[in-house]
């Protein structure tokens, strides 16, 4: 598990919100180990989805910053003294 996710309030809220749902889904399971495995399975799946979403946001932000940098660099190369 990616422990940096635990520092994210949004992630912790998501897990806390979904835990009762997972426990309700596991109510027919008799063995506590099976219930725990079911919860671990769901935490893992949702953590992967959450991590992928964070990655997409980070990549989008990186593209925007890179595009802005290239635009500024091109403007500087055209007229290097305009903003100094």
Query: pLDDT by residue (tens digit) across 41-60?
Result: 999 999 999 999 999 999 99
**Would you say 36 and 44 are in contact if contact means Cβ atoms under 8 Å apart?**
no
Q: Tell me, yes or no, whether 64 lies in a domain.
A: yes
How confident is the model at residue 15, as a pLDDT?
A: 94
How confident is the model at residue 42, as a pLDDT?
A: 96
Q: Tell me, yes or no, whether 2 lies in a domain.
A: no
Q: What is the pTM of this model?
A: 0.74
- Give the count of beta carbons closer than 10 Å to the beta carbon of residue 14: 16
- Whole-number percent of the chain with pLDDT over 70: 94
Confidence band, pLDDT 50/70/90 cuts, at residue 65: very high
Cα–Cα distance between 48 and 66 in angstroms, integer? Answer: 27
Q: Tell me, yes or no, whether 1 lies in a domain.
A: no
Number of independent structural domains in the chain: 1
Q: Tell me, yes or no, whether 29 lies in a domain.
A: yes
How confident is the model at residue 82, as a pLDDT?
A: 58
Domain span including residue 49? 9-78
Cα–Cα distance between 26 and 21 in angstroms, integer? Answer: 9
Cα–Cα distance between 16 and 1 in angstroms, integer? Answer: 16
Q: Tell me, yes or no, whether 3 lies in a domain.
A: no
Q: Tell me, yes or no, whether 84 lies in a domain.
A: no
Q: Tell me, yes or no, whether 83 lies in a domain.
A: no
Cα–Cα distance between 34 and 10 in angstroms, integer? Answer: 27
Any idea which residue has 């949004």 for tokens?
10
Q: Tell me, yes or no, whether 23 lies in a domain.
A: yes
How confident is the model at residue 4, as a pLDDT?
A: 83
């Amino acid at each position: 598990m990616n422990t940096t996710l635990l520092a994210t309030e949004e992630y912790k809220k998501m897990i806390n919100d979904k835990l009762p749902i997972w426990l309700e889904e596991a109510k027919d399971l008799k063995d506590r180990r099976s219930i725990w495995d079911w919860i671990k399975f769901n935490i893992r799946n949702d953590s992967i989805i959450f991590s992928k979403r964070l990655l997409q946001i980070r990549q989008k932000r990186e593209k925007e910053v890179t595009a802005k940098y290239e635009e500024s660099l091109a403007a500087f190369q055209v007229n290097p003294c305009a903003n100094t």
